[in-house]
Structure 1
């Protein structure tokens, strides 16, 4: 399916997995549910993988086209403003992209068309120079801001779930995916670490984004009218003490993302509900800012990683970070031996995170003296400051492999060396 992009500066296409959700439209034409994917430069022309991919797309679109012809569809041809025909390698598909007209007033308008699901979409051709970056959330999310910081001229593609963002890259619909992995106040985002292990994408970069939270509500609403506050669980935890100081001892409910909370309030005209989101979300969805900078600490920073289908070539001319995941063998002090491989080579660890092994969550240990004990089996995620192009990093992992039953390099990528500054408004 050939990708179609809006004419405005922010090109965003919504990807929905299966369960449709009401979507608030902005002040421009908005292409609904286009599943874009990755553009990769192939040396010496088109490689075998790309040819195979294009052939599969052509076969898929040909089958869809032949099914449409057999069904005897007598509908009239769509107009340019309502239905744009999609094609893959010159083959017409049965999928139309509905351009939804956007109201110019500030009042949110619900969509009139059911969003397409991910199964309705086929990969887009690889021509075009604009990088496509998938992120979880809706326009105004912090992940969108992280995508813009990493790739200033990218086309941001909102996705309903983190899983869909991974799939967008795997199916050649996006070039990159941006994934939050930890926050300086809320800690690690554990389910995203599980996704890193479940999928075969590579970390190719990182971004550390200062997070500036605002309390948003419909125009005219006052704080004393509020009965609940909704936002992402991380945002709620990052503003817990400030909300109490503001006298908001109300119900706090978790939703999928911060900007999605703002969108939900605007779309449903909820005058007893406030959202924790960015100032950009307030602007996009016509909300007022009741309180600015409500994070508990001004040094509130979220770390995002950038994912791609192929790893980048590690270098030694700038600071690099490498992320790995492993499961160690049974035995005494095995984890100590693994970590010592880095210490003996003066390699600094910046993070170590343990997650229960999903396939083998429990390990039984029999001891004749004390009986049978049950222990969790863990996967360990480690970040260290070294490039895989360095001999010391290669030797360290060679030694680590001696004590592990599983070892995988998630990525070796440039560190974000942006000078730190307290979070501030947009």
Structure 2
């Protein structure tokens, strides 16, 4: 039983309600209330608010237990994204596209580099950083596999998303010219995305662990015959000049990032359209996935992403990561989640956040 489940059970018993009594009042089933109390699934935010009113406690107490801590965190995170201050973690080295995204979205925050995604997650969980900027998928390279395995086991929530255009630069030391370049270094995906340039110049392509690391290496070597493919920020960071910009073969290459926080921040419904991300496991019975998703169809909730991952050694238990358009406080979304919970052995909402304008481009 998790902290939320324990507090819900204690508050329910204090007012003399049974699980069935609470279920009737909340217009859910008794097994649903039981799954909340045992920690098998997390209830939608709207249900937490209603349960608090019925049981004479605040939603903040049900969710976190420490109201002073909740109040303090709410005050800290009231500022608009561009006005936030503090530290934001990212994976990579200075000059990476993750670093560039941090600078673009949160110009007042201090970007802090970490060697691995896990280290960036831990920095936020431990309080060493306030937020993390984490890539989740690329329009050409697909999903970032590590993230979908880290998210379910973390205590972090998605509070925002950002779409970062990937605009590669051919970087070299000051004074170098295009006709001097004999070798170019970068991450394998960046090299693959700039094949036309490599072929045009007739130069050798050498793989490195990441784009910004390649830029750092070129700056350290000081060899005018060796260039790097990396971001404009990498050029500024390591004192390199751009010999040619926008060198990618295909315009429109974009990486989607999610912003992670220690606490859930749900936007006001009146502020505009939202996205919600969740993780769930269905019961091991025939057609359970089909039935669990039926509520989204009947309630007109659009699922924009659905991906599965095997989570046990026997290859019989699948975990699903989903993204939907909507806010848990909207009635149709709440009804869809109720149906999903009924057919799920585990469900966790990992964030509701504003829909990025990039999605409106179609």
Could you say which residue in structure 2 is the equivalent of 1:279? Answer: 232
1:355 matched to 2:309: yes
1:416 matched to 2:356: yes
Contact 2:278 2:322 (C-alpha < 8 Å) held by counterparts: yes
SS in 2 for 1:339: helix
Deviation, structure 1 residue 209 = 1.5
Q: 1:330 aligns with which of 284, 289, 306?
A: 284
Contact 1:361 1:378 (C-alpha < 8 Å) held by counterparts: no
| Equivalent runs, 1:160-179 vs 2, <5 Å | 160-179=115-134
Residue-by-residue CA offset, 1:184-206 (whole Å, 9 max, x unaligned): 12211111221212311000111
1:159 matched to 2:114: yes
| Equivalent runs, 1:161-200 vs 2, <5 Å | 161-200=116-155
Could you say which residue in structure 2 is the equivalent of 1:319? Answer: 273
Unaligned 5+ segments in structure 2 are 1-63, 73-83
SS in 2 for 1:409: strand
Task: Please give the alpha-carbon distance, in whole angstroms, between the structure 2 residues aligned to 1:248 and 1:329.
Answer: 56
Task: Please give the alpha-carbon distance, in whole angstroms, between the structure 2 residues aligned to 1:216 and 1:225.
Answer: 10
SS in 2 for 1:246: helix
Unaligned 5+ segments in structure 1 are 1-41, 51-128, 364-376, 422-426
Contact 1:212 1:278 (C-alpha < 8 Å) held by counterparts: yes
Could you say which residue in structure 2 is the equivalent of 1:204? Answer: 159
Deviation, structure 1 residue 168 = 1.1
* RMSD of aligned residue pairs (Cα, Å): 2.9
Q: TM-score, normalised by structure 2?
A: 0.70
Could you say which residue in structure 2 is the equivalent of 1:307? Answer: 260
SS in 2 for 1:235: helix
Contact 2:211 2:230 (C-alpha < 8 Å) held by counterparts: yes
Could you say which residue in structure 2 is the equivalent of 1:226? Answer: 182
Residue-by-residue CA offset, 1:98-148 (whole Å, 9 max, x unaligned): xxxxxxxxxxxxxxxxxxxxxxxxxxxxxxx83221112222222122223
Contact 2:302 2:325 (C-alpha < 8 Å) held by counterparts: yes
Contact 1:230 1:273 (C-alpha < 8 Å) held by counterparts: no
Residue-by-residue CA offset, 1:146-178 (whole Å, 9 max, x unaligned): 223332321211222221211111111111001
| Equivalent runs, 1:5-404 vs 2, <5 Å | 47=69, 130-219=85-174, 220=176, 222=178, 225-231=181-187, 233-237=188-192, 239-248=193-202, 250-255=204-209, 257-269=210-222, 273-317=226-270, 318-357=272-311, 359-360=312-313, 362-363=315-316, 377-404=317-344
The structure with the largest helix share of the pair is 2
Q: Cα gap change, 1:284/1:392 in structure 2, threshold over 3 Å: closer, same or farther?
A: same
Q: TM-score, normalised by structure 1?
A: 0.60
Residue-by-residue CA offset, 1:274-324 (whole Å, 9 max, x unaligned): 322112211221223233212232212211110010101343111110001
Q: Cα gap change, 1:419/1:413 in structure 2, threshold over 3 Å: closer, same or farther?
A: closer
Contact 2:282 2:289 (C-alpha < 8 Å) held by counterparts: yes
Task: Please give the alpha-carbon distance, in whole angstroms, between the structure 1 residues aligned to 2:67 and 2:342.
Answer: 41
Q: Cα gap change, 1:181/1:248 in structure 2, threshold over 3 Å: closer, same or farther?
A: farther
